[in-house]
Amino acid sequence: MAKSKVKDSEVLAYLQERKQALRDELEKIETMLSVVGANSKSAIKKGKKRGKKKLEKAVKSIRKKVTQAIEGAKTQTEKLVGRIVSSDAEETGVKKRRAVSDAPLAADAPKRTRSRQVAKPASSASAAVETDQVTTKQEPVKKAVATKASKVPTPASPKPATKKATGKTIPVSFDPKAKMDDKIRFALAQKKGSTKAEVIDYLNNLDPEYGLTKLKKVVAFRLNHLLKTGQVKGSEHKDGFRYAN
């Protein structure tokens, strides 16, 4: 069958426009009826009941025609939508069938290649077994086995223990930009056998811009490190623990 040149989307748009036009026409009729009803109240009071009945019949027939037209447009749009959905479903079903029919061919291809690839290593493995058997037959059995002289392991000489560096050169003058370790060694060189508090006070007087709270934390940490690494010495006294270079 030859398909019509009119697209389904165009038909659907036309039916929707027709439906809207009928609704607009129905609204106009309703407004006219309301106006006519308001004007006919005076005539009804005078006893003209027959005209009222005729008018009501005409209104009912007009309403019936308009509703029928709206329902007809609605059913046509529903049929058109169902036709479009069914055509889309048929196209997807055909694509799925084609994909299923093509799948076995794609699945058989790797199986064949695998069988060929597996067959080749089998022949090479059998050939390798045969060559191994031939070589084992040709090799004569050695009767005497030469015994190698066992070497007596000599004990390794102990390595001399490496000593940690006990300290660096003590700075001659105070440098505010120097490291804290150098500052502490300079303070201990100037004041031998000082406590932690004395070292902090001495360095604070030399460089007050460093900050006392920060200086206390840094000096306590670095003094402990220098004492553990052996860069400074320390001993307990009656008035507290004292440090020296």
Q: How many residues does the chain have?
A: 245
Same domain for 191 and 114:
no
- Is the residue at 18 inside a domain? yes
In a domain, residue 173? The reply is no
Q: Tens of pLDDT along 134-176?
A: 444 455 545 544 444 455 555 454 444 333 444 467 777 888 8
In a domain, 186, yes or no: yes
Question: Residues 102, 204: one domain?
Answer: no
Residue-number span of the structural domain to which 113 is assigned = 8-119
Give this prediction's pTM.
Answer: 0.32
Q: What average pLDDT does the chain have?
A: 73
Query: How many domains does the chain divide into?
Result: 2
Query: CA nearest 183: which of 233, 232, 236?
Result: 232
State residue 239's pLDDT score: 83
Helices marked H in the chain — which ranges?
8-45, 49-138, 180-190, 196-206, 212-228
State the burial class of residue 222 (Cβ atoms within 10 Å of its Cβ: 0-12, 13-18, 19+): middle
Taking phi first (over 0 means left), then psi (-120 to 50 degrees means alpha), and beta for anything else, what does residue 47 get? Answer: left
Nearest to 184 by CA among 139, 152, 216, 161: 216
Decide if 190 is inside a domain: yes
Question: If pLDDT is split at 50, 70 and 90, which confidence band does 223 have?
Answer: very high
Task: Tell me: pLDDT of 133 over 70.
Answer: no
CATH number at residue 196: 1.10.10
3-state secondary structure 134-197: HHHHHCCCCCCCCCCCCCCCCCCCCCCCCCCCCCCCCCCCCCCCCCHHHHHHHHHHHCCCECHH
My answer on whether 108 and 20 are in the same domain is yes
Angle (CA) 55 57 59, round 5°: 70
Q: What is the pLDDT of residues 44-79, one digit of tens each?
A: 566 566 666 777 787 788 888 888 888 887 787 777
What digits encode the pLDDT tens for the residues 13-29?
A: 999 999 999 999 999 89
CA atoms within a 13 Å half-sphere pointing along the CA-CB vector of 181: 12
Residue 46 has a pLDDT of: 60
